[in-house]
Chains A and B, each alone.
Chain A
């Protein structure tokens, strides 16, 4: 290293040392340009585009301000049905994940031995790293016509659900389950055993302790987990194409209008639905204090 560059570096270092505000601007500048200007700008542009129209002959975007895209969305029976179906699927997936994750997390945190607990955390974490597509694909194979589910179901006398909305709910619940187990487990780990012991020493039965002590404690964690399960389900359109048969969710409408139909303004309008839903959801979640758990 030459003495000249060494000198400049010392000079720069001294300037930086004396001016904390300059240090801050240099640190926060690049991430803000990327996220604050480019990304937020892209989201803003998306919303503006949703207020424009499309020339039905040339397919180009017409920069005239109107609410037509939203009116079509509101008035069309098909789109309303798809919107409600998507929200319904997201809610059902979230509910199923809570019902499975709560007992599993409770067992992991409060009943299993410390060694067993470690094994279980890894067992739950590992599939989180397995590819999303591989897991969706695995359920496509599970639910195929002569696959495992129809094979096992045949023994018990039940039909396989096949590819459809039931398959979508099963697959999405499977995909996002670890995102629900982990925050609940973390929330339960913070619950001191002494409180549980106090509850039981005072004569509360197991069911009573769970209802009055454990459930209120993990409620914020459940909300935190539900942000993932709900948001990820709302925006999904790959799973429904893999196991959903001909059914559509909001994501499919967006994708088809960007690609095949090339109607960007309408796609943008459809995409604002999940954004508004998630903003309302996040706003409600903030009131419960759950966002510190995310």
Chain B
């Protein structure tokens, strides 16, 4: 942690003002489009003519009645929940293996875990699409979306858990073993409770990543399943659906406050939420 510089040595006043203005403008540009979407959900004009001449609640009513949007939310929640569970299990295992053991190929493994998000989404998407259809003989659908999402979600859990393990050290686990606790008991009563908030942060990030993903999803979803992002994308260009899409967008903006709120509650989890 650092504090503002002492008066003896300081930035020139002009420089401070420039930085303050740039930061202020950047925040305006960051929030203006999101605010516009919120305002437009009440804009009576179907084409969102600006500035709005009349306000209405019709779009919110229409959106609440939209069966397509509801169904898509359900699919997205199910996919994200399952992918998060897979990611939690696999990411924790990988983190424990890499943090607690030294073995040949350890660096390669950590690179491999980052690879699914370091490579552009189209590459992961087309590679999995090809593998599912030709190698595994799977039909694209719900299961293939879950597998694809879990693949790129592992890294978020892994990053959070390995950071926690590094800070935890080994003393408490060794003490537990010395006092006669079995491997499983030590995990259940010592290791797991200490990892809990890291698992929550990693899981939350994995869920959000999966819930929002579209590029890999377009390659691994069948014709029937529509996740919420795919539903939005498919309805984006239909003029009569635009107001409903806009309301869904507002709901998603409001929902995005939840993870920030949770991370504020979780002491020390913020740095894990910051990096992907």
Contacts and interface: CB of A to CB of B under 8 A. Distances in A.
Interface string B25-43: 0110111111011001000
Contact of B48 (A61, A121, A141, A282): A141
Interface stretch (B55-63, B77-85, B210-218): B210-218
B3 A267 contact: no
Chain A, interface SS category: helix
Interface string B125-147: 01111110011000000000000
A240 B12 CA distance: 42
A72 interface: no
A67 interface: no
Contact of B276 (A24, A124, A228, A237): A228
B8 A125 contact: no
Contact of B183 (A13, A40, A278, A282): A13
A131 B151 CA distance: 20
Looking at A28, A40, A200, A274, the one whose CB has the most chain B CB atoms below 10 A away is A28
A122 interface: yes
Nearest to A43: B127
B131 A129 contact: no
Contacts of B27: 123
Interface string B234-253: 00100000000110010011
Nearest to A203: B9
Given A45-B131, A238-B214, A274-B122, A17 B182 contact: yes
Contacts of A137: 37, 232, 236, 245-246, 249
Interface in A30-48: 30-32, 34-36, 38-43, 45-46
Given A28-B97, A174-B33, A111 B19 contact: yes
Contact of A122 (B94, B97, B260): B260
B268 to A, nearest CB: 14
Contacts of B94: 27-28, 31
Contacts of B31: 127
A87 B103 CA distance: 38
B116 A9 contact: no
B109 interface: yes
Nearest to A192: B2
Given A20-B101, A193-B3, A258 B135 contact: no
Interface in A91-128: 100, 103-104, 106-114, 120-127
Grouping DSSP codes into helix (H, G, I), strand (E, B) and loop, the B interface class, with mixed when no group exceeds half, is helix
B46 interface: no
Contacts, number: 296
A197 B118 contact: no
A251 B33 contact: no
A251 B215 CA distance: 9
A120 B26 CA distance: 11
A111 B131 contact: no
Interface residues of A, number: 109
A129 B48 contact: no
Contacts of B96: 27
A65 B249 CA distance: 47
Contacts of A61: 134
B16 interface: yes
A227 B6 contact: no
Nearest to B116: A39
A257 to B, nearest CB: 9
A134 B249 contact: yes
Contacts of B150: 34
Nearest to A20: B101
B5 A16 contact: no
Interface string B150-193: 11001000000000000000000000010000111100000000
B50 A238 contact: no
A147 B50 contact: yes
B266 interface: no
Interface string A173-200: 0100101001100100101110011111
Contacts of B10: 200
21 contacts: A17-B182, A20-B101, A30-B89, A31-B113, A34-B151, A61-B134, A111-B16, A111-B19, A127-B256, A129-B208, A133-B212, A142-B32, A192-B2, A193-B5, A210-B15, A231-B120, A232-B121, A235-B122, A238-B215, A271-B127, A274-B123
Given A46-B131, A232-B120, A294-B114, 8 more contacts: A13-B185, A31-B94, A121-B270, A133-B229, A151-B50, A183-B275, A258-B219, A274-B120
Q: What 3 A-B pairs are tightest by C-beta distance, nearest first?
A: A235-B120, A42-B131, A138-B33
